[in-house]
Structure 1
């Protein structure tokens, strides 16, 4: 199974560079010259090879060997850069998870089923679990003090939510 590690955004300049929305927690390890990604969501091109990667403030800008100009960059806009985690050894540590492993897990607090994980938002400071609790989308800091246990095989994530977190979702 392949997972998305980035979503291609708009072209940057005229030399074929693109901005990307990073969906991995290790962009400096993944987006290096020579790295090859499968391209999903764009007809025609099946893979892209990183030529260069640089940061412009908080935005990652990539150039690919297969994209020579702005027109080529525009053609892959909206595509997703995919990797097979099995091919690279899977998650690197016991407490690292991919979004596809977390989505669909039941949220359990004090032994009660309170909702469901619907996604993961990666951030520079910390990741957030996206959950639906009582019909509301709630962002839960993915830290050990709040997410006590993740049992992918058991289909659940045990949490201890801070008081008022669910109510803040109304804001």
Structure 2
């Protein structure tokens, strides 16, 4: 199974290195020397990691197929995929692959059925679960322990600690502000 692990950014230096927008929690594993990655182009091609290193908080990668800056610039904006076995799990037991979460049923901490996970959205600040609600609308729930205290792959459930407006945006509490007494009287 192919899973997106990064997007190639701009070239760095003159020796063919590129910066990467990392989309995996295991970059040292996915971009190890010799790793083979597949592009998501119309005609996919395989790129081989020649070397990788961290520089100022950014992962720089040199691909064997891009020997210089000119070749590296041609790779910009390509998404990279890694081949992952169906039964492979992340090294950290508190981490999950997107494919493990998509399709899980959602219920609240009170046991009320609340929908199904249909996607995992990755933002720079945090990940979000996209949940299709029983009414058919979709909501985004931050994937943080306070709001998602339990993920049980064995029973195929995600538990969400519902808060006003989280699973039902229309049901959010509205706090009315009243004009201060005596102001403008």
Shorter-chain-normalised TM-score: which range? 0.7 to 0.9
When residues 150 and 23 of structure 1 are mapped into structure 2, their CA distance, relative to the original with a 3 A threshold, is: farther
1:92-150: per-residue Cα shift (whole Å, max 9, x none)?
466542112323434321222335432153879xx633334775433231x38833123
Secondary structure of the equivalent of 1:166?
A: coil
The answer for unaligned runs of 5 or more in structure 2 is: 173-185
TM-score normalised to structure 2 length? 0.68
2:35 is aligned to 35
Q: CA deviation at 1:62?
A: 0.5
**Once superposed, what is the RMSD of the aligned Cα atoms?**
3.3
Aligned residue-pair number: 162
Counterparts in 2 of 1:102-141, with a 5 A limit? 102-109=101-108, 110-117=110-117, 118-121=119-122, 128-132=127-131, 136-141=139-144
Greater share of strand residues, 1 or 2?
1
Secondary structure of the equivalent of 2:143?
A: strand
Q: Does 1:150 align with 2:149?
A: no
Q: 1:91 aligns with which of 79, 89, 92?
A: 89
The answer for unaligned runs of 5 or more in structure 1 is: none
Q: Which moved more, 1:58-67 or 1:78-87?
A: 78-87
Q: Does 1:159 align with 2:160?
A: yes
**Quick check: which has more Rg, 1 or 2?**
2
